Structure formats: C-alpha cells, structure tokens
C-alpha cells in the first residue's frame, strides 16, 4: 500500500532531496506532497489521507516548537517527523518530548534509512491506533452491559470497575483502584451473614480456575446496604498463559429473587383468602405425616363445606360471597392453633390440618368450636349474613396413610354430615368409603342408562279409604340395569342429583308418566291423576316450569290430571322462591302435593302460603300406629291440621289393617301402601284399573293384608346392586 507523506518546508532543495529519496523507495514509492506554509499544511491535513508529516519547524508563516504544536493539534494521530539543522538539537528534543516520532538532520539523509524509518513509524502508529480503538470499544462495551465487572491484579487489588460495578458497590473506579478486593467486593452469606472463608478472587488466584458464589450471597455496598448477587469469577491470563489477575462478573438478583418468591407464594396460596391452597396443604400434610410417624402421634384432617353458600352467591352476588368467604377465613384461623393449617380448596370448601392432635377428641373440640363460631352472624357491608358448615373428619393413621386419602375420606365424611342435616360434623368410617366407591360406580353406569332406555316407571295406587276405589297413581322410578336387575331409587336418585343427571332423568319420568295416563284415558280406563316425584335440583332449575308445560303439551295430557310431588324439605329451603315457583305451576292448572310431610319442620304459617292441594303424611308416622286404639298423636295432629287447611291428606305406607282402621277413624280420606298394592308395572296397573272392584275391597274389614301381585313384585323390588356385581 502506498503511503502519502506531507512535506512542509520552505527549502526547495530539501524538499526535492526528500522527494527523490522517498519516490524511489524499493518497497513501493511514497506519494509525496510538498507545501511551504503551515496554514496550507493544516488545511491539507484537515482534508485527510496523510499518513505522516515531515516538517521543518522553520516555515514561511510559523517557526519553532509552535509549528509542531499546531500540526499535532490538527492531526493528533498522524506521526510527525521533524527536520532540523544538525546543530539545533534542543528544538529536536523539545519536539520529541511532545510526541514527535523521529527527527532528520537537514542535508544528512542517509540512503534507504529515511524511507524505512518512515514506513515503520507509520506501521507502528496504525497498530497502536487499532489497539486503542479495540480498547475503547471494550471499555464502551463493558460500560454498557448491565452486569457489573471488577478486575483485580495478581495480588487481588482492584484495577478496574465498569459503570455497573461502580453503581452497585458504591465505589468509583478511581477510588477503588489499588484497594484489596475484600474492601470493595465485600460479601456475606445470605443466611449466616458471615463472610465466606475465602473471597472468590483469592480462590481463583489460588486455584487458577473459575468459580462462582453460593446462591443467596449478599454484597455489602459502600453505604452498608445489602443486595443479593450472583457472580462468576475467572482468572485473567496474558499472552503467555500466565495468571495476571481476576475478573468478577456479577449482577443484582434482588428483584428476580423477590419476583421468584412472589410467584412461589402465589402458586401455593389462594388469591382471595391468602390461605394455603391444595398444593401447599398436601405438602404440609405429607410433612406432618412424617413427623407423626416418627413420634407415634395422630393427625386430623377436617373437610368443611359451607351450607347453601351457592344460594348466597346467587342471590347476593359474588362480591358479597367473596367477603363472606374472607370472614369465614378469619373465624377459621381463630379456631385453630398457629401450628395448624387452614387451607381453601376452592369454592366454599376449606380443609384444616390439625397437627399434634393426640386424640380424636381434639378434632371434636375444634369442629364444635368452628360450628359455633361460624354460626355467629357475619357483618358484610350493611347486612348481617348467617352461614353454617358441614364438616367431615379423617384421622391419621386410621383413615389414611397419605395426604390424598386423608383429604378424600374427610370429604366423604363431609357428605355424610350434609346428608345428616348439615351444620354438624361426622367422623369418617370405612363403611362410608364403600358407599363412596359404590356411588362412583353407579354414576358411571347412570350416564348411559337413559340412552339405553334402562328406566321404567312403576305405578302405585292411591286409594279412597272409605270406598277402596283407586283415586290416583304415584309414578315411581326403577332402573332396570342389564346386570344388576331392578335398582331402587334410594340407590341412585341422590347420585343422579349430585352429578346433575337427575334433570334429564326427571324429565323423562315426567313425560313417560303423562304419556301413560293419557294412554289409559284414551283407552277409557280412568280419569285418575298421576303423581310424579320432583327432585330438589329439578324444582330449582329455571327451566322447570317450562319443562312441565312442554311435557303436558307434547303428551296432550290435561294439566289437572298431573300432580307434582315435592318434598317438604325442598319447599322449606328458601320458602319465598318456592312460593313463586308453586304459584306459577298452580296457575298452569297442575296439582301440587307436599311429599314426606312431617319431616321438614314446616310451620303452619308457611303451609298457608304454599298453594298446595295435597299433604302426603310420611310413612314413618303411619308406621308408628301400632293398634287401633293407639294415640298416634302426630298423625292425628297432621290430619287435623290438613283438614282445617282444607287440604286433602294421603297417608303413605299403609301396610296393615290396624293402620287402615286408625286412619279411617281420623277421617283421613286417602291412603297408599302395600296393604293395597305394591308399586306395579303399567300393564299390571291397567288390569287394576279394569277391575270393577279393587282386590283389597274384600279385605277392608279383615285383619290380614291382601297384597296383589305381591311375590312377583317383591322379587323385583329386592334388586340390589351389591348382590349383582
Ligand atoms: P316417595 O315419593 O315417598 O315414595 C313412596 C315410597 O314408599 C316408594 O318407595 C314406595 O315404593 C314406598 N312404599 C309405598 N307403600 C309402602 C308401604 O306400605 N311400606 C313401605 N315401607 N314403603 C312403601 P320407592 O319407590 O323406593 O321410592 C323412594 C323414593 O324415591 C320416593 O319416595 C321418591 O322420593 C323417590 N322417587 C321415586 N321415583 C322418583 C322419580 O321419578 N323422581 C324423583 N326425583 N324421585 C323419585
Ligand atoms: Mg312421592
Ligand atoms: Mg313420600
């Protein structure tokens, strides 16, 4: 590559001599430009592309060291060689002190020495420049990264900090330089707060190998505050591979750590109540089991489900529901020791782990306390809300050896508490588990039963107790399972209610019953009413009234022949809504019966509000009648009350003549029970309807019951899934 040289001298002989010398240099000639004035030279330098300057410090417009200074200012990175009188050594020295690369004595240019020197000066300068550019680039890079970088020398004294390191340590580079690394990079263990046995820098200097800090290390800044850091420390080697120092690269992890902590917390806690969630509870139970095993102790798991919470949520809104859950949380926390865990499983379900419980008595004590505390009114906004809870309890190790089975069994026991009238607690027993498995089994089979047309309706007559005539029929559901045979409703109705299938099944039963009675009417067999049982779940469905209307319309049955049987407890739960639904049904023209009357604690005032046509006295009261002279106080009271409200009364479960006689005396008008007939299939019921005189008429005055079709039906009724699978 050709180099361009600017010669500044007002001595033409000198200039020509140089030109000649440089022009024929064997390694490629130099391009030479000659100017005589400093100002022209400076202008030329500004244009660029000059690789070296040879200057006679005595020019037309400038002289002495000032000429040198001006040139250097104009081209600071261009090498300058001065041209002096041989005797003017002082000036040459002055220039070289200020950065002149070499000097030539006028008239003494020796052969190829000048061009060679010039070339090597130019080369050295460009290497230097490249080096500086690289260094500057490295410096900029180090200062622009967010990681802090500290370098030390071979003795572990600081010789470099980038800006991030200055910010994080609180030391400036200048202040830190030369200080032992321990003073600037002061670290302690996050837990013990003690400095490490050896600063990582010393470790690297000793082992000549990279290392990194333990997780959780804290850096103590210059002002004494602390920050969590993560680092890696590595040796620095020179060209020959010799260890010359150490570099520490580290960064602040406090934010990341705080974030990770927060995320770990929310993964284990419930956002609404801040209670441990299912995952954390399971962990705690597992830990508690390990400890209990070691110390031979017991644990208790309490599974709580608030009673009728859904109703509060639906009627008062989710915001109120949420506040109530928070209030419940406070009460629950209050009821247990700090070593116990209250967790929320979701919805209105809570699980409490009682550690250190020596006896089941502890659990009883806490369960009692919870039931009492929760019952006290909860002030939510302006209103006071009331809530109760049902609790299931399982005990380690009797009821399960791991977290899952303890929670599952407590859950099962909770269902029993619900079935037991809510607002109480139940301990788990193995028998419950068998039932839970059975329920699961039934649910699986129920899901296909409707599609496979496995349901049938049986019909049981209702009888006029004076004349013995059939006054109506109650449709009773049976499940004719291909393997198990006939399955009775007690076995599957509540399962169907729990999994929601009851709506489809109930709808089928309603249509089927309407269809059957319409058929009997069309055959001219009867004008009796058909009573269909309605489950709580169906009754509360928004679409229920419409579904009844559709069933009547599609089957063509007149509404007055349909009687809906709804149990007393269903109607009593949220009586106001019940009244509204009943009124709608009533206005459609269907009849309404209150089933299992006497078991749901109706008050007379409610009875008056319900637009009911019929009261069905629960079997249990009829069973209590033992002799014709029995006082049968309840039955008497109920019949009396019904008569005074002008409702018709049907006595359920009439099994013998004594009961019949007693009921007749009370002027109870209708009865239903095995004494007259078992529930029978449609064809058999048709035969009954076709008879002029019902078979039981002749027995009205005898003491032995006469049961129509009894053997056959009885076998069917004993269909029991336990026997069949
Ligand atoms: P429920 O409505 O009170 O029906 C009367 C129950 O008493 C029937 O039991 C019937 O077979 C039985 N029974 C009748 N006479 C006597 C008697 O003299 N002695 C005794 N010990 N029992 C008698 P079943 O058919 O097992 O039905 C049980 C319950 O299942 C019904 O009680 C009703 O609540 C429910 N159920 C039946 N069919 C349906 C339905 O289609 N839908 C709904 N949701 N529930 C139904
Ligand atoms: Mg009924
Ligand atoms: Mg009943």
- As a whole number, mean pLDDT of residues 549-562 equals 97
pLDDT > 90: percent of the chain: 57
Q: Which atom of ligand 1 is nearest to the CA of 513?
A: 41
Confidence of residue 257 (pLDDT cuts 50, 70, 90): confident
C-alpha of residue 502 to centroid of ligand 3, in Å: 18
pLDDT value of residue 701? 57
Residues 199, 204: Cα–Cα separation, whole Å: 9
Confidence of residue 26 (pLDDT cuts 50, 70, 90): low
C-alpha of residue 311 to centroid of ligand 3, in Å: 26
pLDDT value of residue 721? 29
Ligand 1 atom 25, closest CA: 476
By CB atoms closer than 10 A (0-12, 13-18, 19+), residue 107 is exposed
What digits encode the pLDDT tens for the residues 120-151? 888 888 888 888 888 888 888 888 888 999 99
pLDDT > 70: percent of the chain: 93
pLDDT value of residue 358? 63
Question: Which ligand is closest in space to the CA of residue 671?
Answer: 1
pLDDT value of residue 394? 95
Residues 580, 583: Cα–Cα separation, whole Å: 5
Pure H helices in 75-199: 89-97, 113-144, 163-169, 173-176, 181-184
- As a whole number, mean pLDDT of residues 421-439 equals 85
Residue 91 near residue 67, CB atoms below 8 Å: no
321 in ligand 1 pocket by Cβ < 6 Å? no
Ligand 1 atom 11, closest CA: 679
pLDDT value of residue 182? 92
C-alpha of residue 622 to centroid of ligand 3, in Å: 12
* DSSP-derived secondary structure for 496-534: HHHHTTHHHHHHHHHHHHHHHHHHHHHTT----EEEEEE
pLDDT value of residue 569? 78
Single out the residue of 332, 371, 373 nearest to residue 353, CA to CA: 332
Confidence of residue 722 (pLDDT cuts 50, 70, 90): very low
pLDDT of 62 strictly over 70 = yes
C-alpha of residue 709 to centroid of ligand 3, in Å: 22
Question: Which ligand is closest in space to the CA of residue 617?
Answer: 3
pLDDT value of residue 38? 95
- As a whole number, mean pLDDT of residues 396-425 equals 92
pLDDT value of residue 70? 94
Q: Domains (ranges, CATH) in the chain?
A: 4-140 (3.40.50.2300), 145-258 (3.30.450.20), 271-428 (3.30.70.270), 456-681 (3.20.20.450)
533 in ligand 1 pocket by Cβ < 6 Å? yes
Testing ligand 1's pocket by substitution, the residue of 461, 472, 489 carrying the most ligand atoms inside 8 A of its CB is 489
Pure H helices in 208-308: 254-268, 278-295
C-alpha of residue 320 to centroid of ligand 1, in Å: 39
C-alpha of residue 496 to centroid of ligand 1, in Å: 16
Prediction pTM value: 0.51
Testing ligand 1's pocket by substitution, the residue of 533, 563, 625, 676 carrying the most ligand atoms inside 8 A of its CB is 533
Alpha-carbon separation of residue 348 from 181, 313, 343, 389, 398 (angstroms): 58, 10, 11, 10, 27
Confidence of residue 724 (pLDDT cuts 50, 70, 90): very low
C-alpha of residue 476 to centroid of ligand 1, in Å: 6
Whole-number average pLDDT of the chain:
88
Ligand 1 atom 19, closest CA: 653
Q: Which atom of ligand 1 is nearest to the CA of 477?
A: 38
Q: Within 13 Å of residue 327, how many CA atoms lie on the same side as its CB?
A: 21
pLDDT value of residue 149? 95
- As a whole number, mean pLDDT of residues 649-668 equals 92
Burial readout 629-649 (b: 16 or more C-beta within 10 A, e: otherwise): eeebebbbebbebbbeeebbb
C-alpha of residue 474 to centroid of ligand 2, in Å: 7
Ligand 1 atom 5, closest CA: 652
Confidence of residue 702 (pLDDT cuts 50, 70, 90): very low
Confidence of residue 621 (pLDDT cuts 50, 70, 90): confident
Q: Is 667 helix (H, G, I), strand (E, B) or coil?
A: coil
Ligand 1 atom 34, closest CA: 533
598 in ligand 1 pocket by Cβ < 6 Å? no
What digits encode the pLDDT tens for the residues 210-244? 998 877 899 999 999 999 998 889 999 988 889 99
Ligand 1 atom 22, closest CA: 653
348 in ligand 1 pocket by Cβ < 6 Å? no
Ligand 1 atom 4, closest CA: 476
Q: Within 13 Å of residue 446, how many CA atoms lie on the same side as its CB?
A: 27
- As a whole number, mean pLDDT of residues 336-361 equals 87
pLDDT of 396 strictly over 90 = yes
Question: Which ligand is closest in space to the CA of residue 600?
Answer: 3
pLDDT value of residue 698? 66
């Amino acid at each position: 590559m050709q180099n361009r040289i600017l010669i500044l001298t007002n001595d033409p002989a000198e200039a020509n001599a140089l030109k000649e010398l440089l022009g024929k240099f064997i390694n490629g000639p130099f391009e030479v430009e000659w100017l005589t004035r400093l100002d022209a030279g400076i202008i030329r330098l500004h244009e660029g592309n000059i690789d070296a300057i040879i200057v006679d410090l005595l020019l037309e417009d400038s002289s002495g060291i000032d000429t040198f200074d001006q040139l250097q200012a104009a081209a600071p990175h261009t090498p300058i060689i001065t041209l002096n009188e041989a005797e003017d050594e002082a000036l040459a020295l002055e220039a070289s002190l200020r950065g002149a690369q070499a000097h030539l004595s006028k008239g003494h240019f020796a052969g190829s020495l000048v061009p060679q020197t010039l070339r090597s000066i130019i080369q050295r300068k460009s290497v230097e420049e490249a080096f500086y550019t690289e260094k500057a680039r490295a410096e900029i890079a180090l200062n622009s990264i967010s990681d802090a970088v500290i370098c030390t020398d071979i003795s572990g004294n600081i010789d470099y900090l980038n800006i991030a390191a200055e910010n994080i340590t609180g030391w400036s580079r200048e202040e830190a330089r030369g200080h032992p690394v321990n003073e600037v990079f002061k670290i302690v263990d996050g837990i013990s707060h003690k400095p490490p046995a050896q600063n990582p820098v010393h470790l690297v200097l000793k082992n000549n190998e990279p290392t990194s800090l333990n997780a959780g290390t804290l850096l103590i800044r210059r002002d004494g505050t602390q920050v969590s850091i993560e680092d890696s420390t590595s040796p620095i080697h020179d060209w020959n591979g010799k260890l010359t120092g150490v570099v520490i690269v580290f960064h602040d992890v406090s934010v990341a750590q705080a974030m990770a902590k927060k995320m770990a917390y929310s993964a284990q806690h419930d956002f609404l109540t801040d209670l441990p969630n299912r995952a954390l509870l399971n962990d705690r139970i597992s830990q508690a089991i390990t400890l209990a095993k070691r110390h031979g102790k017991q644990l208790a798991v309490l599974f709580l489900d608030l009673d009728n919470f859904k109703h509060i949520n639906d009627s008062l809104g989710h915001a109120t529901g949420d506040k109530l859950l928070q209030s419940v949380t406070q009460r629950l926390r209050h009821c247990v020791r700090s070593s116990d865990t209250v967790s929320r499983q979701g919805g209105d379900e809570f699980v409490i782990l009682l550690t250190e419980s020596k006896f089941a008595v502890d659990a009883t004590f806490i369960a009692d306390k919870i039931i009492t505390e929760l019952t006290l009114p909860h002030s939510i906004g302006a209103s006071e809300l009331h809530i109760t809870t049902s609790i299931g309890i399982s005990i380690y190790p009797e009821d399960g050896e791991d977290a899952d089975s303890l929670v599952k069994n407590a859950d099962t026991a909770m269902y029993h508490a619900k079935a037991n009238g809510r607002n109480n607690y139940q301990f788990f027993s193995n028998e419950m588990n068998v039932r839970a498995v059975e329920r699961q089994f039934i649910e699986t089979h129920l899901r296909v039963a409707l599609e496979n047309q496995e349901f049938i309706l049986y019909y049981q007559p209702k009888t006029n107790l004076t004349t013995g005539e059939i006054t109506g029929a109650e449709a009773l559901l049976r499940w004719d399972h291909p393997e198990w045979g006939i399955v009775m409703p007690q076995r599957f109705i509540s399962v169907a209610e729990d999994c929601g299938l009851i709506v489809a099944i109930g709808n089928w039963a309603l249509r089927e019953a309407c269809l059957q009675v319409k058929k009997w009417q069309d055959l001219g067999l009867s004008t009796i009413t058909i009573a269909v049982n309605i489950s709580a779940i169906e009754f509360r469905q928004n679409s229920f009234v419409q579904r009844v209307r559709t069933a009547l319309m599609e089957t063509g049955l007149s509404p007055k022949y349909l009687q809906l049987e709804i149990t007393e407890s269903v109607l009593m739960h949220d009586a106001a809504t019940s009244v509204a639904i009943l009124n709608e049904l009533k206005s459609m023209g269907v009849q309404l019966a209150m089933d299992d009357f006497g078991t749901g604690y109706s008050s007379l005032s409610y009875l008056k509000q319900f637009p009911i046509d019929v009261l069905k006295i629960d079997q249990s009261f009829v069973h209590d009648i033992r002799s014709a002279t029995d006082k049968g106080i309840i039955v008497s009271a109920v019949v009396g009350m019904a008569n005074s409200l002008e409702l018709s009364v049907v006595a359920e479960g009439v099994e013998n003549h004594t009961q019949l006689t007693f009921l007749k005396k009370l002027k109870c008008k209708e009865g239903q029970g095995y004494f007259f007939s078992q529930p029978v299939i449609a064809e058999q019921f048709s035969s009954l309807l076709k008879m002029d005189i019902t078979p039981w008429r002749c027995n009205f005055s005898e003491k032995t019951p006469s049961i129509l079709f009894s053997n056959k039906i009885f076998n069917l009724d004993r269909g029991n899934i336990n026997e069949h699978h």
